[in-house]
Amino acid sequence: MELVLSDKYQISTDQFNYILQEKSVVKDGNNAGQEYTKNIGYYGKLEQALKVVLDLKIKDVDKANIKQLHDHLALINDVMKDMVKRLETQMEGLK
């Protein structure tokens, strides 16, 4: 399963973990311009991975812009709720 959170972050799963991944673009070399993903961390619960995304988004926000920070927090909160609902629905279908 793969949950796309934004143009920068996604969560994939394996048998045991939720894997937080960051999308990047190769800048140099033969593969310049190609998109790839790098694993940021492995988490036992979806909420843990989403909290890390929240923390990363907060660190990316210009600290002087409180409105932007508030908007990011609201968006991430909405995404977290939506992702948890989607996952719960998918898990119910597997039972």
Residues pairing with 4 in the sheet: 10
* Predicted TM-score (pTM) of this structure: 0.65
Mean local confidence (pLDDT), 27-50: 92
Q: Model confidence over 3-29: pLDDT tens digits? A: 888 888 999 999 999 999 999 999 988
Q: Give dist(CA 35, CA 23) in Å, integer.
A: 7
pLDDT attached to residue 62 = 65
According to DSSP, residue 18 is labeled E
